[in-house]
Structure 1
Amino acid sequence: MSENNQDRRFPRNLQGVLQLAVQAGSAAEGPAPLEPMSEERKTWLTEALSEVCKGQMDEVEEIKQCLAVLRKGEICENDRDGEEARKEEEEEDDDHERESAFEILSELCENLDNARDFMTLGGLELCVSRYLCHVKSGLRWRAADLIASCAQNMPQVQEHLLNIGVLQKLLQLTDSDPQSTVRVKALYAVSCLVREQEAGLRAFLSYDGFSVLMRAMQSENEKVRTKSAFLLLNLLSSHPEQKETVVSMGMVQQLVSVLRTPHSPFHEHVLGALCCLVDDFPQGLEDCRNPALGLEELLRQRVKDLQGKDESQEELDFCERLVRMCFHGQQSDDAGMDR
C-alpha cells in the first residue's frame, strides 16, 4: 500500500530513530570541526544498522509465517467436503497453533510499522471475515484483540477496518457473544475505532452503538460494564452534541438504574456520564430532577458512604457535582466536564 512521505512525521524504523538521535546529538553539541570517521566507528555503525534492518526483515517474515498458520486452518476447514479428515486431537493442536499465531501477531502489531505491514498483507480481512465469527471463542477474542492492537492510534488502519465493515461485527459480539472474554475484547476494539475518530463515530451511531453500550452496562461481567461506561463517558465528553441522542433514548433513567446495583468502581464512569448529560443541557437536567427517579436521595447517601475513602475521591466529586447541579438550583463554575 502506497504512502506519501509527508505522512511520515516520525521515523518508520529503528534505523530512522538512530539517525535522528545522531542528528539531535550533533545539534546539541553545536558546530564541530569535521573529522574523518574512524574505521572502527564505521564498522560499528555498519554492523548496528545491519542488525536493525535484519530485525525488521525478521519481523515481517514472522508476520507472514503467522498468517500462513491462520490461512492454513482456513483452507483445511473449507476443503473438508463433508469428510471428518482430522481427529479431535489434531484439531486441538491446530487451534493451539492458531492461538499462538494470534498472540505473536498482537505483540508484533503494537509496533505501528508492523500493524501497517499486517494490513498490507491482508491480515485484517482474514481476522474480520474468518475469525471474528469462528466457532472457537479463543480464536474470536484473539482476533478482536489483534484488531484493537492494530487500530489503536493508527488512522490509516482504522479507516481500512471501517471500510471492510468490522464495526458492526464487533458491536454484535459485544452485544450477544456467549463468552465474556469475547465481549470484553470486542468492546475494546470498538473503543479503538470510535474514540477520536469521526468516521468511526458516524458508523457507531448508524449501528445504534449507544444502545449496545446501554445494554453492556447492565452485563453481569464487571469488565464489560466498566469498559462500556468508560466509553460512554469518553464519547459524551468528546462529543457533547450527542447528548440529545442519548437522553432521548432514556439514558438518564438507565444510568440511575445502574447506580442502584451493588456498588462497583465503574460507577465512577456512570456518574461522570450523568454529569455530562446535565451540564449545559436542560433536558438531561430535567430528567435527573424527576422525583420518581429518587436520584437526590441516592446521591446524598452515596456521598456519605464515600466520605474519607481516598480511592473513591473522583466518584465522590462527581456525586457532589451532581447534587449541586441538579438539586441546589444552580450550577457551579467548575461543573463542566474537563476530563
Structure 2
Amino acid sequence: MAEGGGDRQHPQNLQGILRMAVEAGSASDEPAPSEPMSEERKAWLREALADVCKGQMDEVEQMKECLEILRREGSKVREGEEEEEEEEQEEMEGALELLSELCENLDNARDLMVLGGLDLCLSQCLFHPQSGVRWRAAQLIASCAQNMPEVQCYLLGQGALLRLLQLTDTDPHPTVRVKALYAVSCLVREQEAGLQAFLSHDGFSVLMRGMQSDNEKLRTKSAFLLLNLLTAHPEHRDTVLSMGMVQQLVSVLRSPHSSFHEHVLGALCCLVDDCARGVRDSQNPALGLEELLNNKAKELKGREECQEELEFCERLLSTCFRGQPPEDNGMDR
C-alpha cells in the first residue's frame, strides 16, 4: 500500500471536498497557519467549489437537453414540409455539435454513454437521411472514443465499427466519409479489440479504396491510417501483402503528385523492410517502380517541404533495387 493510505475514500459531497481541501492545505510544506481558517474564507471556498460542481451539473443537463432534441426530432414523421424539416435538421445538427464540444471532456463522454447518447447515435443519427446529421454523429463518436478505452470497448460491443466502415466506404457525401474514417481511427489505433474487429471487417480494403477515391481528405486520412497501423502492427503485414497492396500503392503513386504520397511511400517502406515478399512484389517489372521512384526523387530534390518523401524514395530504391534481397524469415511467404 502506498504511504498515506491507498484505501482513503474520496469525498461524496461538497462538505467532504471542503474538508479535504482544508486538510490538504494544512498538510502542505508551508508552515501551518497560526489561526484556524476564518468563516469568511470557508464561505468563499464553499462558493467556489459549489460553482465548480454546478458547472459540471450544468454540462450534464445540457447533454440531456441535446439528447431530448435528437430523440424528438428523430422520431417525427416527415410530411414533406421543407421549411419545417430544415429547422428540425438545424436543431439536430446544433445538438450534435454541442455534444461533441462537451465530450472533449472525458468525464462527459462517459456520462453520455451512461445516458444512452451513444446508442442513439448508432441506432438513429448515423442512419439519418441528412448528411449533416450523419457526419456530426460520426464526429461525436470520434470525440467520445478518443483516448477512452471504456467508451471504445462499449462502441465496439455495439457494432459501431462496421457501420463506420460502411459509411467510409459508400456514403455519397464526402464529409460523412472523412468523419466516419476519423471515428474508425479513434476505435482501432492503440486498441487491440478494435484492430481485430477492423481486420474481421476487411478494413484494409476500405483504406485501399479510400486512397483511390477522388476525395483528397479521404485519400490522405486513409493513407495515414494505413501507415500508422503497419508501423504499429508489422505482424499484419502479410495480410496486407496478400491483398496486392504493393501494386495498389504503386498505382496511387502514379496519380498527380499530392502531399498524401508521403504516407503512401511510408506504407511501402513498411511493407518491404526486412520482408522478402514485399521486396519481390515491389521488384515486379510490370510495376515499373524503380523508374517511378527515380523520377520522383529527381522531382522532389531541393524541395524542403518534401524532404521526408524524398527520404522514403531513397529508402525504397536502396532496399528493393540497390542492395541484397532480405532473407525470407518464413513469415513472408
What is the alpha-carbon distance in structure 1 between the residues aligned to residue 208 and residue 273 of structure 2? Answer: 20
The DSSP-based 3-state class of the residue aligned with 2:124 is: helix
The DSSP-based 3-state class of the residue aligned with 2:127 is: coil
Aligned to 2:63: 63
Question: Do 2:145 and 2:187's aligned partners in 1 also have CA atoms closer than 8 Å?
Answer: yes
Match of 1:296 among 290, 296, 305: 290
For the pair 1:92 / 2:86, whether they are aligned, the reply is: yes
Aligned to 2:29: 30
Aligned to 1:336: none
TM-score of the two chains, using structure 1 as the length reference: 0.87
The DSSP-based 3-state class of the residue aligned with 1:319 is: helix
Q: C-alpha deviations, 1:260-316, integer Å up to 9, x for none?
A: 000000000000000000011110011111121111111111111111111111111
Aligned to 1:335: none
What is the alpha-carbon distance in structure 2 between the residues aligned to residue 129 and residue 330 of structure 1? Answer: 54
Question: Do 1:324 and 1:331's aligned partners in 2 also have CA atoms closer than 8 Å?
Answer: no
Structure-2 change in CA distance of 1:294 and 1:24 (3 Å): farther
The DSSP-based 3-state class of the residue aligned with 2:206 is: helix
Q: C-alpha deviations, 1:131-173, integer Å up to 9, x for none?
A: 1111111111111110000000000000000011111111111
User: Counterparts in 2 of 1:183-332, with a 5 A limit?
Assistant: 183-330=177-324
Match of 2:173 among 173, 179, 184: 179
Structure-2 change in CA distance of 1:220 and 1:17 (3 Å): farther
> Shift of the alpha carbon at 1:198?
0.5
What is the alpha-carbon distance in structure 1 between the residues aligned to residue 212 and residue 319 of structure 2? Answer: 26
1:30 aligned partner, one-letter code: D
2:73 aligned partner, one-letter code: G
Q: C-alpha deviations, 1:97-116, integer Å up to 9, x for none?
A: 11100110010011100000
What is the alpha-carbon distance in structure 2 between the residues aligned to residue 21 and residue 291 of structure 1? Answer: 72
What is the alpha-carbon distance in structure 2 between the residues aligned to residue 26 and residue 331 of structure 1? Answer: 68
Structure-2 change in CA distance of 1:40 and 1:183 (3 Å): same
What is the alpha-carbon distance in structure 2 between the residues aligned to residue 23 and residue 269 of structure 1? Answer: 53
What is the alpha-carbon distance in structure 2 between the residues aligned to residue 146 and residue 18 of structure 1? Answer: 35
Q: Structure 1: give runs of 5+ residues left out of the alignment.
A: 1-5, 7-15, 333-339
1:262 aligned partner, one-letter code: P
1:193 aligned partner, one-letter code: L
Structure-2 change in CA distance of 1:143 and 1:215 (3 Å): same
For the pair 1:74 / 2:68, whether they are aligned, the reply is: no
Q: Structure 2: give runs of 5+ residues left out of the alignment.
A: 1-5, 7-15, 327-333
The DSSP-based 3-state class of the residue aligned with 1:227 is: helix
Aligned to 1:50: 50
Q: More deviation in 55-64 or 276-285? A: 276-285
The DSSP-based 3-state class of the residue aligned with 2:147 is: coil
1:132 aligned partner, one-letter code: L
What is the alpha-carbon distance in structure 2 between the residues aligned to residue 295 and residue 21 of structure 1? Answer: 66
Q: CA RMSD of the aligned region, Å? A: 2.6
> Shift of the alpha carbon at 1:31?
5.1
Q: More deviation in 242-251 or 291-300? A: 291-300
Question: Do 1:59 and 1:108's aligned partners in 2 also have CA atoms closer than 8 Å?
Answer: yes
The DSSP-based 3-state class of the residue aligned with 2:308 is: helix
What is the alpha-carbon distance in structure 2 between the residues aligned to residue 17 and residue 170 of structure 1? Answer: 42
Sequence identity, in percent? 69
> Shift of the alpha carbon at 1:230?
0.3
Structure-2 change in CA distance of 1:297 and 1:18 (3 Å): farther
Q: C-alpha deviations, 1:74-110, integer Å up to 9, x for none?
A: 2223xx7xxx3x6221111111111100110010011
> Shift of the alpha carbon at 1:22?
9.4
TM-score of the two chains, using structure 2 as the length reference: 0.88
Q: More deviation in 55-64 or 312-321? A: 312-321
Q: More deviation in 270-279 or 88-97? A: 88-97
Match of 1:131 among 121, 125, 130: 125
